[in-house]
Amino acid sequence: MSKQIFGAQISLRCCGTTTPEVTAGPCWQVFVAMSGRVSEWPAYTWPTSSDIPTPDQRLEALSELGFALAEGAEWEWTEDTGPEYHPHPVRVALLGAVKVRSLDGSAA
């Protein structure tokens, strides 16, 4: 079994998303950073809401993408400010990150 570890990130997409599906409002999205094009990275988008997905919801989303938390991994959260070019006032952005492993043991 491969011991390759990937990084997953979750963030609130304040203006919605265009990929993998279009949303018209704020929603949380988790993606797994891998080799290749960003547009090809596994991503899961929750329905439009600004409520932070629960730990169980995050695990379910990662599982649906084919990943699980790496051994001993815990979500780490940071705050940042959104970009000034957005069409709304600059505000705090909450970003989560965690180490994950492939459920089937394959490498990217």
Residue 60: band (very low, low, confident or very high) from pLDDT cuts 50, 70, 90:
very high
Q: Residue 61 is inside which H or E element, if any?
A: helix 55-64
pLDDT at 86 over 80: no
- pLDDT at site 108: 45
CA-based nearest residue to 80, from 7, 9, 8 = 9
DSSP string, 5-33: EEEEEEEEETT---SSS--SS-EEEEEEE
Per-residue pLDDT reduced to its tens digit, 20-39? 666 777 889 999 998 888 88
Residue 106: band (very low, low, confident or very high) from pLDDT cuts 50, 70, 90:
low
Helix %, strand %, coil % for the chain, to 5? 10, 35, 50
- pLDDT at site 1: 40
- pLDDT at site 89: 67
